[in-house]
Amino acid sequence: MSSPTSVKMTPPNYIDPRIRRRYFWMYLLQVWLSLLPTALGIYWIFSPWFNHVLPEPIPILSFSLPELIARVWEYPKWIAIAAIPILMIFLYFITVVTSAMVTKLSIGFLNRLHKPKEGIFYRIPEDKDYLFWNLRNLSRVFLFWVLHSSPSTLLKKYFGYTIFGIPIDRSTVINHTWISPEFVQIGKNVIIGQSASLYSYQVQGNKLLVAQIVIEDNVRIGPQVILLPGIHVKHDTIISGGSFAHPFTCFEENAVYQGGPAQKMEP
């Protein structure tokens, strides 16, 4: 069990190596910014552990949080020890929040420079649409790595998608799936199975196709289903496990689909 390692990594977005090499500084800057509060927090919480390594603590952080807690409760030491797991979860949460904020800021900045668009673009860095599509994906890499490095699926739902304009309802289940974080629209009460992948882009020769995927309410999608750009799944449809479909197909409402390419079936 557990999702395959390939699913555990970044969202399924291809990044051009030419652009990745040229703008790698952007990724490093993001990592630095989003780990800054966490690093300070680690130092603040665990500074008594570093005392024999580092001679003098930073003046502002001259006391640690366990010490503070111990002072308030007049020092039984076990309270400080018992707080450590909670503090670690808190640190992870802070990392998620800050990396989401940094990503949100950088994507907002990129969108100011160039508006995201659907369409067909040339796969050369001189094409502005292609360049900015890649940059947006590059700025999401660290956030998704942070989100996938814990067994929590709730954090991924809210900090990976809902913040960036893909509102995913509480009744919708997207655990252990691969969903493009752009140009996807998911309705209410949808169930998507394990390692199903929803790609809103496709590479065709020297061109890149980007089109929106629409999934309406009450849709059930099985495990290992592959949906390509431009696909429209209407309400109350079931797509059985292991099937895939060509780009720009439209799934009818109240139907059952199976096979590759998916065909209508009567159960």
Partner 1 sequence: MSATTSLEKNKFQPLVSANLPGKPVTYVILFLEFWVTLVLMYWINEGYYSRIFVGRVWTYFLLPLFLYGLVWQFFIISTIITSLVYFILTRIEPPKEGLFDLSSREAQFYFIRFWICFYSLYIARAMPLPWVDMYVFPIFGSHIGKNIVLYDSWIDPEFVDINDNCMISLNTQLISHAIIGDKLYVKKVIIKKSGIAGAGAVIAPGTIVKEGAVLGGACSTLFNQELAPYCIHVGSPANVAIPIKIKKYESEIPTEKLPQPIETPESDKEEKS
CB-based contact 30:140 (threshold 8 Å): no
Instruction: By CB under 8 A, name the one of 104, 123, 220, 235 that touches partner 1.
Output: 220
CB-based contact 190:173 (threshold 8 Å): yes
Give the separation between CA 212 and CA 198, rounded to whole angstroms: 10
Under 8 Å CB-to-CB from 68, ≥6 apart: which residues?
Answer: none
Give the separation between CA 106 and CA 114, rounded to whole angstroms: 12
Under 8 Å CB-to-CB from 39, ≥6 apart: which residues?
Answer: none
Q: Does residue 119 sit in helix, strand or coil?
A: strand
For position 208 contacting partner 1 by CB under 8 A, the verdict is: no
The interface region with partner 1, picked from 17-25, 27-35, 130-138, 239-247 by CB under 8 A, is 239-247
| CB-nearer residue toward partner 1: 66 or 181 | 66
For position 260 contacting partner 1 by CB under 8 A, the verdict is: yes
Give the separation between CA 103 and CA 207, rounded to whole angstroms: 27
Under 8 Å CB-to-CB from 195, ≥6 apart: which residues?
Answer: 3, 4, 7, 176, 177, 178, 223, 224
For position 66 contacting partner 1 by CB under 8 A, the verdict is: no
Point out which residues pair with 120 in neighbouring strands.
209
Instruction: By CB under 8 A, name the one of 39, 89, 105, 250 that touches partner 1.
Output: 89
For position 186 contacting partner 1 by CB under 8 A, the verdict is: no
Cis preceding linkage at 229, omega within 30: no
- CA quadruple 63, 65, 66, 71: dihedral sign: positive
Residue corresponding to tokens 């069990």: 1
For position 54 contacting partner 1 by CB under 8 A, the verdict is: no
For position 55 contacting partner 1 by CB under 8 A, the verdict is: no
For position 191 contacting partner 1 by CB under 8 A, the verdict is: yes
Instruction: By CB under 8 A, name the one of 38, 156, 240, 245 that touches partner 1.
Output: 240
Find the binding residues for partner 1 in span 154-183 (CB under 8 A).
154, 173, 175-176
For position 76 contacting partner 1 by CB under 8 A, the verdict is: no
For position 48 contacting partner 1 by CB under 8 A, the verdict is: no
| CB-nearer residue toward partner 1: 165 or 241 | 241
| CB-nearer residue toward partner 1: 185 or 194 | 194
Smallest separation (angstroms) from partner 1 to the CB of 173: 5
Instruction: By CB under 8 A, name the one of 31, 242, 247, 249 that touches partner 1.
Output: 242
Please report how the helices 65-72 and 24-50 are oriented relative to each other, as an axis angle in degrees rounded to 10. 40
The interface region with partner 1, picked from 28-36, 86-94, 113-121, 130-138 by CB under 8 A, is 86-94
For position 192 contacting partner 1 by CB under 8 A, the verdict is: yes
For position 5 contacting partner 1 by CB under 8 A, the verdict is: yes
Residues that bind partner 1 (CB under 8 A): 1-6, 52, 81-82, 84-86, 88-89, 151, 153-154, 173, 175-176, 191-195, 220-224, 238-243, 256-260, 265-267
